Structure 1
Amino acid sequence: MTTRPNAVLLTALLIASLGAIDLGRPTEAYPPLASDRENGQEPQAEVDLLTFARGVVFVSQEGLAVGSAGRALLSIDGDPYRLGLTTDAALPVAFAYKLPAPTTFHRFAVPGVQEWPGNVTFVKSVVVMGSSEGPDEGYRTLAEFELATHASHQEVTEAIVPPGDPVRWIKIHFDGGINIGPGDEGRTNIRFTELIGNGTQETPPFSTVFDGLWAFRQAERLDGPGIPIALRQDGTTIRGCYGDYRFTGTVNGVIARANGEDSRGRSAHLVLVADGNGAFQGSVSLNGGRFRPLTAVEDPAVEQPSCAPEEPAEPRVCGTNAYINFDLDSAAIRPESEAVLRDVFARLRSDAAERVTIVGHTSTEGDETYNMDLSRRRAESVVRALVELGYDSATISASGMGESQPLVSPDASETTRELNRRVEISCS
Structure 2
Amino acid sequence: MSVNFVLVLDTNKKPLTPCKPGVARSLLKAEKAAVFRRYPFTIILKKEVMSQPKQCQLKIDPGSKTTGLALILNSAVVWAGELTHRGQQIKDALTSRRQLRRSRRFRKTRYRLPRFLNRTRPIGWLAPSLNHRVETTMTWVNRLIKFCPINSISQELVRFDTQKLQNPEVSGVKYQQGQLYGYEIREYLLEKWHRKCAYCGATEARLEIEHIKPKSKGGSDRVSNLAIACHDCNQTKGNQDIEQFLSGKPDLLKRILRQAKSPLKDAAAVNSTRSKLYNELKLTRLPVETGSGGLTKYNRCRLGLPKTHWLDAACVGTIDKLIVETNQPLIIKSTGHGNRQMCGTNKNGFPVRHRSNQQVHFGFKTGDIVKANVPKGKKLGSYAGRVLCRAKGSFDISTAKGIVSGINHKYCQSIHKKDGYNYSL
If the TM-score is normalised by the length of the shorter chain, which range does it land in?
A: under 0.3
TM-score (norm 2): 0.23
Q: Give the structure, 1 or 2, with the largest relative contact order (CA under 8 Å, sep 6 or more).
A: 2
TM-score (norm 1): 0.23
Max Rg structure:
2
